[in-house]
Amino acid sequence: MWHSSLPEDDIARSLFGVKMISLTDSQKIGMGLTGFGVFFLFFGMILFFDKALLAIGNILFVAGLAFVIGLERTFRFFFQKHKMKATGFFLGGVLVVLIGWPIIGVVLEIYGFFLLFRGFFPVVVGFIRRIPVLGSILNLPFISAYADKAGESNTMV
């Protein structure tokens, strides 16, 4: 029989020696909602900015975010003083999509999304550069200039 120095609970959370992240049930639900939201947003854009799919995707994405990080932290994230412009564009874009103007709404949402999450881009670019195939793609001459620009850390998160 195999024996470990780890308690049984830690054995269940480790896989091949790598610690797994433990999520609460509401965080698991939030991950699912966020994933479906991104899927519906992507699918809605592929299908020529289908209003219904984009609206469902927006609602699922925002609800999923609230489930993952919590309602209070979601409000604190969106309504910081220095992020009010970004929040206005993002939530305004969601509202415009719900009203029925999907192309204008998606443009507003994308602009607001980039303003909201621009502090995370250097972390994401640095992570992607360490992935074997994707890192090579980011080092291609015409892509590396954009990746370097996105990877610059000019604002705090």
Give the model confidence (pLDDT) of 55-107 as tens digits.
999 999 999 999 999 999 999 999 999 999 999 999 999 999 999 999 999 99
pTM of the model: 0.73
CA distance 4 to 20: 17
> What pLDDT shows up at residue 144?
85
Q: What is the pLDDT of residues 140-153, one digit of tens each?
A: 888 888 888 877 76
Instruction: Please write the tens of the pLDDT for every residue from 38-61.
Output: 999 999 999 999 999 999 999 999
Instruction: Answer for the pair 126, 151: CB distance below 8 angstroms, yes or no.
Output: yes
Parse the chain into domains and list their residue ranges. 19-117, 118-157
- How many residues in the chain? 157
